[in-house]
Amino acid sequence: MISSELNARFREIRDKVEASERLSLEDGLFLYEPEVSLQAVGELANYMRERLNGNVAYYNINTHLNPTNVCVYRCRFCAFRKDLRDESGYAMTDEQVLERGREATANGCTEMHIVGGLHHQRKYEWYRDLISLLKTNFPQIHLKAWTAVEIDWFRFQTKKSFRWVLEDMQAAGQGSMPGGGAEIFHPEVRDQLCEHKANTPSWIEIHKTAHEIGMKTNCTMLYGHVEKAYHRIDHLMRLRELQDKTGGFQVCIPLAFHPDNTQLSDLKKPSGLMDLRTVAISRLMLDNIRHIKAYWIMLGIETAQTALAYGADDLDGTVRHELIYHDAGAQTPEFLSVEQIKQLIREAGREPIERDTTYNRVIRDANDFTQWHSGESVDAELVTA
């Protein structure tokens, strides 16, 4: 395309965004063309981000819990899983889980992000009891637990329905679902990455069911491996389609592939430019999902901070005990302090706001940081994309 055609096509897309019109598959593919200036795509995404979320950037105070790394599946992008007999395979004891709850409380965490492997020998009840153990002992901490892949596995184990599993987990104390396990929905790619685990219709059905029972969920897209731009845009459009039906997704997190220690270790990790373009295009395509998260653990601190000007409005949390990315070679620190995360946001020219998992403001006791309660929803003021 010559540059006058390129500019005219970009203007068409800009006009659509300014008129709050939905972008098409072709629009999304065009924005991925390397000749289309990243700067221009970023500016457009930033415009939409500021219209939806103003000048603020959200963070939370959270911790991760990966109860086991033993997994029956062998996703080609995963550096975290271990075989049953591997010496570095583990499954946490109740006491270890309780210790994490005590640590989280002492650090003022509002959320525990709980995901792990599908252990060959642990029954459904082990997973459910872990949730009730934490909820009973630490009722204030929100448990953002189990990806759709785990829920699918629990259905297989229990021979019940997705709804039954989700309601049972909800009764035990699960508050919401993280967005993992989505990878890339298109079968041309999914079948190469993880042909055995929950397929795309199941992933979609599980999130739809969670939304129907009033459980909010997040969504992700794993990019930068064997997929092409077409698969990414197709993925985002499938998320957008479900969101049109249910409105239950809170945030989308584009996840950059980290190749170290995986079966795809011959691939290079995506560049910072690709990361920023994908954050920006996710913002522009997902006109019905309010938040876009730049997960600093995975993007690296500098790119995550820059992403706050390319469509992202959330950095995730302070994060402790993250294993999935660190096992795959992430060079980011193990956690950030609240002051560090606020400083990152301020340096990016944004106003830091602490949120809880379901996007309410967190109000902390002025004399005791570990005491807190949830205030108003940050999404209360509805803005149309």
Residues annotated as binding site for [4Fe-4S] cluster? 71, 75, 78
Residue 263: φ, ψ to 5°: -70, -5
In the chain, where do the E strands start and end?
56-60, 62-65, 111-114, 142-145, 174-176, 217-223, 249-256, 291-292, 314-317, 351-354, 360-364, 372-377
Distance CA(276)–CA(103), nearest Å, equals 34
What does the binding site for ligand V47 look like in residue numbers (CB under 6 A)? 77-79, 147, 178-181, 183, 218, 220, 222, 253, 255, 257-258, 262, 295, 316, 324, 328
Give me the amino acid identity at 23: L
Which does residue 73 bind out of ligand SF4, ligand V47, none, counting CB within 5 to 8 angstroms by kind? Answer: ligand SF4
Q: Tokens 């993992």 label which residue?
A: 180
Look up residue 295 and give its two tokens. 């997960």
Distance CA(220)–CA(195), nearest Å, equals 18
Nearest distance from residue 240's CB to ligand V47, in Å? 17
Q: Which is nearer to ligand SF4, 117 or 173 (CB)?
A: 117
Q: Which of 23, 104, 143, 149 forms a contact with ligand SF4 (CB under 6 A)?
A: 149
Which does residue 81 bind out of ligand V47, ligand SF4, none, counting CB within 5 to 8 angstroms by kind? Answer: ligand SF4
CA quadruple 24, 55, 142, 79: dihedral sign: positive
Neighbouring C-alpha atoms within 13 Å toward the C-beta of 180: 22
Nearest distance from residue 149's CB to ligand SF4, in Å? 5
Type and span of the H or E element at 303: helix 301-307
Nearest distance from residue 290's CB to ligand V47, in Å? 14
Which does residue 310 bind out of ligand V47, ligand SF4, none, counting CB within 5 to 8 angstroms by kind? Answer: none
Q: Are 357 and 316 in contact (CB under 8 A)?
A: no
Site string for ligand SF4, 57-96 (x = CB under 6 A): --------------x-xxx--x-xx---------------
Q: Which is nearer to ligand SF4, 73 or 230 (CB)?
A: 73
Q: Which of 28, 42, 108, 117 forms a contact with ligand SF4 (CB under 6 A)?
A: 117
196 binds ligand SF4 (CB under 6 A): no
Give me the amino acid identity at 376: E
Nearest distance from residue 180's CB to ligand V47, in Å? 3
Residues contributing to the site for ligand SF4 (CB under 6 A): 71, 73-75, 78, 80-81, 117, 149, 194, 197
